[in-house]
Amino acid sequence: MAIQKERVSIPLEGGQAMGGHLARPEGEDQRPGVIVWMEIFEINSHIRDVVEGVAAEGYVALAPDFFHRTGPGVEYGYDDAGMAGGMKLLMKLDADEMISDARAALKSLRGRPDAAGKVGAMGFCIGGHMTYLTACETDVDAAASFYGGGIAAPQGPGGKPSTVGRTGKIKGKILCLFGEEDALIPQAQVDAIRAALSRAGTDHEVVVYPGADHGFFCDQRATYQKEAAEDAWKRVKALFRDRLA
C-alpha cells in the first residue's frame, strides 16, 4: 500500500502549535485515525517507522511532539547522549499539559477530511504512559500501551494525581504490554495496573512477555525481542481492527 507522509502542525490553545509526523494511505477514502505517542527519544526514525506501519494497515496515523514546550523538533538516538537528553525533557512533563496535548491531537485528527471519526492511541515508554493517560482523559475508542513507565506511581507527571488512579474514566478497550525483565516497571506495578483495570470493570488485556526487557518492540535497541514484538503487533492490529474499522 502506497503511503503519503507529511510534517504537520497541530493547533493548541493560546495560538500555539505542536509539531507532528503524519502518514496515511494514498487516495481519497476516509480512514480511522491512530495517535502514536513517542518515546523520550522524540519523533525519531523508529517512531516514523511505526507511524508509517500503522498507516500501511489502513489508518491515518499521527505522532505528536509532546515535548514541544521544552525541546520542539529535537531527535535522539538510542545511545547515552540520547538517553540523557530525553530524560531531561521527561522530567519537565506535566500531566495537565499532557492531557491538553492529547485532546488537541485528537481534535486535530478528527477534524481532518480524510479521517473517519473513530480514533485509537498507542505509544511506547513515556508514550505508553501518555497512551494510558489519553485513554483515561479522552474518548479514544481503543488504546495500546507499550511498557508505559510510571503509570502506577503515587503521583503523575508534574506531581499531579496518579495516572492509575484515573483508570475508572477509561471508555474504550486498553491493551497493556510489558516485558518480564523490565527493571523500570517492576511486576508489582504491572499487578497494580491489572488490579485497577479489573476493579474498574474496564475492557482490557494485560500481557507480560517472558524474557523481554524495556523497549522490546524497537528494532533499533539492544533490548529488541523479535518474538515479543511480532506478537504485540498482531495484538495491536487485532485491537484496532476490532474497535476502529
pLDDT in tens, 1-47: 799 999 999 999 888 999 999 999 999 899 999 999 999 999 999 99
Are the CB atoms for 206 and 174 separated by under 8 Å?
A: no
Examine the residue annotation and report whether 218 is marked as an active-site residue of this protein: no
Of 65, 101, 182, 213, the active-site residue reads: 182
Of 129, 176, 214, 218, the active-site residue reads: 214
- Residues of the chain with pLDDT > 70, as a percent, come to 100
Examine the residue annotation and report whether 182 is marked as an active-site residue of this protein: yes
Q: Where are the domains of the chain?
A: 3-243
Are the CB atoms for 96 and 103 separated by under 8 Å?
A: no
pLDDT band at 97 (very low <50, low <70, confident <90, very high): very high
| Secondary structure of the chain in HEC code, one letter for each residue | CCEEEEEEEEECHHHCEEEEEEEEECCCCCEEEEEEECCCCCCCHHHHHHHHHHHHCCCEEEEECCCCCCCCCCCCCCCHHHHHHHHHHHCCCCHHHHHHHHHHHHHHHHCCCCEEEEEEEEEECHHHHHHHHHHHHCCCCEEEEECCCCCCCCECHHHCECCHHHHHHCCCEEEEEEECCCCCCCHHHHHHHHHHHHHHCCCEEEEEECCCCCCCCCCCCCCCCHHHHHHHHHHHHHHHHHHCC
Examine the residue annotation and report whether 125 is marked as an active-site residue of this protein: yes
Are the CB atoms for 152 and 189 separated by under 8 Å?
A: yes
Would you state the cell numbers that stand for residue 183, as one nine-digit string?
527493571
Q: Give one word for 206, left, alpha or beta, with left for phi > 0 and alpha for psi -120 to 50.
A: beta
pLDDT in tens, 112-156: 999 988 999 999 999 999 999 999 999 999 999 999 999 999 999
Class assignment of domain 3-243?
alpha beta
Of 65, 68, 125, 213, the active-site residue reads: 125
Task: Report the pLDDT value the prediction gives residue 1, as an integer from 0 to 100.
Answer: 77
Task: Report the pLDDT value the prediction gives residue 124, as an integer from 0 to 100.
Answer: 98
Are the CB atoms for 129 and 94 separated by under 8 Å?
A: no
Would you state the cell numbers that stand for residue 122, as one nine-digit string?
498507542
pTM here? 0.98
The overall average pLDDT reported for the chain is: 97
